[in-house]
Amino acid sequence: MTKKLELRFHGRIIDSLGIQMYQSPVAALAELVANAWDAKAGEVDITLPRALHEKATIIVKDNGDGMTFHECQEHYLNVGRNRRIDDATSPSLSGRPVLGRKGIGKLAGFGIADVLEVDTTSGKTGERTVFSLDINALRDESFVSTSARPIATSVIEDPDPSRIPNKGTTITLRSLKLSQRPNPDRFARSMSRRFLLNQVADNFRVLVNSKPIPEDVELSGMQFDFPRDYRPNEIPAGVTVEGDWAIEEVEGEEVKWRVRFAEYPIGTDEFRGISIYCGPKVAQTPFFFNLSGSLDGQHGQQYISGIVQADFIDQFPVDLITTERQRINWEMKEAKPLEEWGQARTKSLLTIWKDRRAEAKTKELDDKVGRFSERLNRLPSSERQVVSGAIRKLAQVPALDQDQFASLAEAILTAWEGGRLQKLIERVADVENMTEGVLLALLAETQVLTALHTAEAVRAKLDIITGLRERIEKKELENAVRDFIAEHPWLLSPEWETFRKERKISGLVEDALGESGIATDIEWKGRADLVMSAGHEVLVVEFMRPGLTLDYDHIDRFARYVRILREKIAANSGLKFSKVSGLLVAENLAKKPGMASQIDALSKDGMGCLEWRQLLAKAESQWSEFLDALGSRTPKDSRLAALQQASEDNAREGA
Ligand SMILES: Nc1ncnc2c1ncn2[C@@H]1O[C@H](COP(=O)(O)OP(=O)(O)OP(=O)(O)O)[C@@H](O)[C@H]1O
Ligand SMILES: [Mg+2]
């Protein structure tokens, strides 16, 4: 007896072909979309489940050519069939490059579902066939070899021309294996990264839940767009620019590309890098042409979003696209020229990007120089050169975004004027290449510097508060002091720092003063002392006559006044104010029973009653705390420590 060997396939081979390769719904469904393209569909609609449950389905419906019963058998159910070889005589696909080649794409559905149901109507004969594939049944029985596996059919309808207009294929995925319901918007955006539609074909639409996917993922905040932003002398030899696209030849084959740089680093890996498309479909998800080593402008990789259309990669007799279809097999010699071309292009674009980025920042600086020019001009010309030189150096540090750069440039100018950091700034202006070390040193110093400026300002405020306290103690509570407070509301407390005099509501204030009886009260001179606002908040301040002791009656009238004003403001829909606070300041508060709790209750209702002494002590302690916080947030610095010490000494004297 002659011995013989045979090759056997286990049903589980399908696991390797389908399940394991396409676990993301987008990757799996992209294969079904590709099949619709190959079937010459004008439209394919993916319906995602609203919720995940046992009966949830994903439906992919196309209006392509469908399949005859015979084609279901010979084409669909023939795993591993290469249609490009077997269909050599088939009519050309209305100018569309054929995407299918491996004969396994349909199995991608098993990556996310256990059951695939196919319902197809042939555009040639009107035959309708419905059958389903269940991965568990296919996997169950042991070996498949020559003995074919029976497939469950539920509908077999013979040729009928009246059904031809209904041509198309609907694939229903059941027993879904998703851990999470796909978000339709995110899914549509991801899908649109896998298909270049408007550039390649205007007769194919992909819809998600009946809504077309975005044609071009609009990454917001694009700063540079090549080839459009090439300057005439930068256009590489052999490149033709057509609209937004560059067209050139790589080893005699056409390559079309567009590379954009975002203004800020692109957050998602899915969108960062350059993708390669064959026909409408992605063949290589975003990457950097396998560039390695350190590059000029390397940092720019985080900002790139590029598209390369290289149809020829999928037209070699050998298949260069890896089985999971996310990557081109760059080990293959056929792929080498594209890789080398891509590396060269990417490198040169990164270099151009780096220069442009520095220019853009410098230009921005020039635009803003009006703000600084007066200050710069006050410097002797040699100094002016040093300072603007330092700022320009800074403009070339890619790690700084526009805002950081602007504030640092501002700090440099201020630092120079303050006579500080001159050595460091000179060094910055001198360095050939701004390194991270120099930058960090500069940042640390400017941080101290900024704190120092703030600290000095706070220090000055504390001095003023002390001065004011003295005048009030000497009973010099004159209009000048009130006016001064109106100009410097921070004297009341740091929280009022941004408040400004408010005149729009003076009519309402007069009315409220009248209605509350304050207007006719001699102790109260009958006029509003101070009305201020910031944002949606109004603050009214009343100062009592010097020497006057605040009593129940005053407090009641004041509260009435604020409440009446609140009602009037609320009734006036034209005003943007949503909060009205009041502050009553007197030399003394009567120490009568019940007074303290009355004052307490009012303060919870946004009405404060304070003695001058308390008011100033509160402002002083809050500003001192601010000064302390400033010191603790900033690296140790002797100048800062000296200011804090001075403030503590002062506080002790004042106490
Ligand atoms: N939606 C469809 N409409 C019509 N025919 C289809 C459809 N889906 C699949 N087919 C037929 O079934 C065949 C097998 O599809 P499958 O995706 O497994 O392989 P392929 O597309 O030929 O190659 P690849 O594995 O590279 O995708 C296709 O070649 C096509 O003839
Ligand atoms: Mg396919």
Per residue in 87-137, pLDDT (tens digit) is 765 545 567 888 998 888 998 899 899 999 999 999 999 999 999 999 888
| Residue 160 pLDDT level (bands cut at 50, 70, 90) | very high
Q: Are 108 and 21 in contact (CB under 8 A)?
A: yes
- Average pLDDT value for residue range 368-396: 71
Compute the distance between CA of residue 285 and CA of residue 636 in angstroms, rounded to an integer: 49
| Residue 68 pLDDT level (bands cut at 50, 70, 90) | very high
CB of 126 closer than 6 angstroms to any ligand 1 atom? no
Tokens representing residue 595 in the block: 């007074």
CA of 67 to the centre of ligand 1 (A): 10
CB of 62 closer than 6 angstroms to any ligand 1 atom? yes
The lowest-confidence range among 14-18, 176-180, 355-359, 376-380 is 14-18
Any idea what DSSP says for residue 301?
Answer: G
Tokens representing residue 171 in the block: 């694939």
The chain-wide mean pLDDT, for the chain, equals 82
Q: Answer whether residue 382 shows pLDDT above 80.
A: no
CB of 100 closer than 6 angstroms to any ligand 1 atom? yes
Using DSSP, state whether 438 is helix, strand or coil.
helix
Starting from the CA of residue 103, give the closest ligand.
1
Nearest ligand 1 atom, CA 60: 1
| Residue 498 pLDDT level (bands cut at 50, 70, 90) | confident
Starting from the CA of residue 101, give the closest ligand.
1
| Residue 257 pLDDT level (bands cut at 50, 70, 90) | very high
Q: Which helix (H) or strand (E) holds 194?
A: helix 184-194
Compute the distance between CA of residue 645 and CA of residue 628 in angstroms, rounded to an integer: 10
Which amino acid residue places its CA nearest to atom 4 of ligand 1? 66
- Residues with C-beta atoms within 5 A of ion ligand 2: 35, 100, 105
Amino acid occupying residue 108: A
Contacts for 383 with CB less than 8 Å, ≥ 6 apart: 416
Q: Are 208 and 48 in contact (CB under 8 A)?
A: yes
Q: Are 449 and 414 in contact (CB under 8 A)?
A: yes
The lowest-confidence range among 27-31, 310-314, 406-410, 492-496 is 406-410
Residue of 38, 84, 90, 101 to mutate, ligand 1, most atoms within 8 A of C-beta: 38
Q: Give strand ranges (E) for 74-197.
A: 113-121, 128-134, 143-144, 152-157, 168-176
- pLDDT at residue 277, as a whole number: 94
The lowest-confidence range among 232-236, 261-265, 457-461 is 457-461
Express each pLDDT in 126-159 by its tens digit.
999 999 999 888 876 655 555 667 788 889 999 9
CB of 488 closer than 6 angstroms to any ligand 1 atom? no
CB of 194 closer than 6 angstroms to any ligand 1 atom? no
Express each pLDDT in 275-308 by its tens digit.
999 988 999 999 999 998 777 778 888 899 999 9
- On the 0-12 / 13-18 / 19+ scale of CB atoms within 10 A, 239 is middle
Tokens representing residue 354 in the block: 């780096």
CA of 211 to the centre of ligand 1 (A): 24
Residue 299's nearest CA partner among 266, 330, 268, 269 is: 266
Express each pLDDT in 564-610 by its tens digit.
999 999 998 788 888 999 998 888 887 888 888 888 999 999 998 88
Which amino acid residue places its CA nearest to atom 13 of ligand 1? 76
Compute the distance between CA of residue 74 and CA of residue 81 in angstroms, rounded to an integer: 9
- pLDDT at residue 652, as a whole number: 59
Compute the distance between CA of residue 368 and CA of residue 361 in angstroms, rounded to an integer: 10
- pLDDT at residue 490, as a whole number: 79
CA 401, 403, 409, 411 dihedral sign is: negative
Tokens representing residue 176 in the block: 């879904």
Q: At how many degrees (to 10) do helices 552-571 and 506-515 cross?
A: 140
pLDDT top residue among 408 and 340? 340
CA of 36 to the centre of ligand 2 (A): 8
CA torsion 332→338→340→344, rounded to 10°? -160
Residue of 99, 106, 125 to mutate, ligand 1, most atoms within 8 A of C-beta: 106
Q: Are 530 and 485 in contact (CB under 8 A)?
A: yes
Q: At how many degrees (to 10) do helices 595-604 and 552-571 cross?
A: 10
CB of 39 closer than 6 angstroms to any ligand 1 atom? yes
- On the 0-12 / 13-18 / 19+ scale of CB atoms within 10 A, 374 is exposed
| Residue 407 pLDDT level (bands cut at 50, 70, 90) | confident
CB of 134 closer than 6 angstroms to any ligand 1 atom? no
Tokens representing residue 115 in the block: 């059951």
Q: Answer whether residue 633 shows pLDDT above 60.
A: no
| Residue 651 pLDDT level (bands cut at 50, 70, 90) | low
Q: Which helix (H) or strand (E) holds 595?
A: helix 595-604
- On the 0-12 / 13-18 / 19+ scale of CB atoms within 10 A, 282 is buried
CB of 109 closer than 6 angstroms to any ligand 1 atom? no
Contacts for 107 with CB less than 8 Å, ≥ 6 apart: 14, 17, 18, 79
CB of 119 closer than 6 angstroms to any ligand 1 atom? no
Which amino acid residue places its CA nearest to atom 8 of ligand 1? 35
CA of 99 to the centre of ligand 1 (A): 9
CA of 76 to the centre of ligand 1 (A): 6
Tokens representing residue 49 in the block: 């489940």
- pLDDT at residue 294, as a whole number: 78
Starting from the CA of residue 18, give the closest ligand.
1
The lowest-confidence range among 52-61, 325-334, 463-472, 517-526 is 517-526
CB of 102 closer than 6 angstroms to any ligand 1 atom? yes
The share of the chain scoring above pLDDT 90, in percent, equals 36
Using DSSP, state whether 226 is helix, strand or coil.
strand
- pLDDT at residue 642, as a whole number: 67
Q: What is the largest CA-CA distance in the chain?
A: 131
**Taking CA 68 as the corner, what is the angle to CA 66 and CA 70, rounded to the nearest 5 degrees?**
140
Q: Are 265 and 353 in contact (CB under 8 A)?
A: no
Tokens representing residue 47 in the block: 């319906």
CA of 75 to the centre of ligand 1 (A): 7
Tokens representing residue 372 in the block: 């600084």
Residue of 33, 74, 76, 170 to mutate, ligand 1, most atoms within 8 A of C-beta: 76
Which amino acid residue places its CA nearest to atom 1 of ligand 1? 36
CA of 107 to the centre of ligand 2 (A): 9
CA of 77 to the centre of ligand 1 (A): 9
Compute the distance between CA of residue 285 and CA of residue 116 in angstroms, rounded to an integer: 27
Express each pLDDT in 418-465 by its tens digit.
666 676 677 666 766 656 566 666 666 666 666 666 667 777 777 777
What are the residues facing 157 on neighbouring strands? 128
Compute the distance between CA of residue 516 and CA of residue 565 in angstroms, rounded to an integer: 10
- pLDDT at residue 477, as a whole number: 59
Compute the distance between CA of residue 66 and CA of residue 72 in angstroms, rounded to an integer: 9
Q: At how many degrees (to 10) do helices 436-473 and 638-654 cross?
A: 10
| Residue 538 pLDDT level (bands cut at 50, 70, 90) | very high
CA distances 258 to 229, 239, 306, Å, are 11, 12, 6
Residue in this structure with the two tokens 């029976």, named with its chain if needed: 150
CA of 266 to the centre of ligand 2 (A): 32
Tokens representing residue 59 in the block: 């439906």
Side-chain-facing half-sphere of 333: CA atoms under 13 Å = 1
Q: Are 99 and 134 in contact (CB under 8 A)?
A: no
Contacts for 138 with CB less than 8 Å, ≥ 6 apart: 11, 14, 149
Highest mean pLDDT among 458-467, 468-477, 596-605, 635-644: 596-605
pLDDT top residue among 460 and 654? 460
- Average pLDDT value for residue range 33-58: 95
CB of 345 closer than 6 angstroms to any ligand 1 atom? no
Express each pLDDT in 202-223 by its tens digit.
789 999 999 999 876 555 678 8
| Residue 3 pLDDT level (bands cut at 50, 70, 90) | confident
CA of 108 to the centre of ligand 2 (A): 9
Compute the distance between CA of residue 581 and CA of residue 606 in angstroms, rounded to an integer: 5
CA of 85 to the centre of ligand 2 (A): 14
- pLDDT at residue 379, as a whole number: 77
- Average pLDDT value for residue range 330-350: 95
CB of 36 closer than 6 angstroms to any ligand 1 atom? yes
Q: Answer whether residue 632 shows pLDDT above 70.
A: no
Which amino acid residue places its CA nearest to atom 31 of ligand 1? 75
CB of 325 closer than 6 angstroms to any ligand 1 atom? no
Q: At how many degrees (to 10) do helices 402-417 and 422-430 cross?
A: 130
Tokens representing residue 275 in the block: 């993708």
What are the residues facing 263 on neighbouring strands? none
- pLDDT at residue 207, as a whole number: 95
532: region left, alpha or beta (phi > 0 left; psi from -120 to 50 alpha) = beta
